[in-house]
Amino acid sequence: MLEACTQARVAADSKTLDDCRDRLSQGMPAAAGDGKHRSVPNILQAIRDRRSHHANLLGQGEGEAWLRYWHARLLRDSPECGPGQYKAIRNTIGADRPPPPQCVTGAMRHMLSGLRPAVPSGPARALFMHAAIAMIHGFGDGNGRLARFMQNWELESAGYSAVFFPGELHAELNEALWSMLGTGDPGPLASLLVRAHDHCGRLLAEHNGSDAAQ
């Protein structure tokens, strides 16, 4: 639940967690509530379903389809964002311009089949996936959400716990990603991942014993 709330940019406080948990227990539809809260149930279900699959599926023939599948799941409540559909027009990342629409499919496939296998599984591969998806920026919206989701798929598949970035770290996360894009140095992003991991530990301790933390 904590990861789902931070992905939806909803405050991961006890009141919000209890509210979201109550909706789920009552079988309320994903569109229940308003604003950011409505996306939490679908994101939570995607996270739970992620744990039933291994990230090594990304290295197989359908790997690129898995990226689009998870994007569709995460953006299900935002049809205006084109869930599961690559961008139709070229977008930007700060002052940088990622691959144009006609190159996205090829870039994703090369990243998954040619580059990802060369990176050791675990935190290193998780950071690689996070940065690669953010840099390719293949979707019109939701690239950051997908990047963080795929990072955690890699971590969990390697036996590590998921790491989520609270709102107060998002600005630093963007700075670390752009720094890596410009210099190729993963150090700032790796350091931020460690800080986020420690933050997650404190949040989980705060909600220890609560179903909302699962």
pLDDT in tens, 83-107: 999 999 988 776 577 899 999 999 9
> Residue 97: what residue type?
R
Is 26 a residue whose pLDDT tops 80?
no
77 CB neighbour count, 10 Å cutoff: 17
Nearest by Cα to 133 from 55, 51, 43, 37: 55
Is 29 a residue whose pLDDT tops 60?
no
Is residue 32 a contact partner of residue 40, using CB atoms and an 8 Å limit?
A: no
Cα separation, 14 vs 35, whole angstroms: 18
Is 207 a residue whose pLDDT tops 90?
no
Tokens standing for residue 208: 């220890």
pLDDT in tens, 156-200: 999 999 998 888 888 899 889 888 888 888 999 999 999 999 888
Tokens standing for residue 78: 């935002």
> Residue 167: what residue type?
G
pLDDT in tens, 116-146: 999 999 999 999 999 999 999 999 999 999 9
Q: What is the DSSP letter of 139?
A: B
Is 109 a residue whose pLDDT tops 90?
yes
> In the chain, what are the domains?
2-213 (1.10.3290.10)
Phi, psi values for residue 139, rounded to 5°? -110, 160
Name the CA radius of gyration of the chain, rounded.
Answer: 17
91 CB neighbour count, 10 Å cutoff: 17
The angle subtended at Cα 93 by Cα 72 and Cα 175, nearest 5°, is 105
Residues above pLDDT 90, as percent of the chain: 55
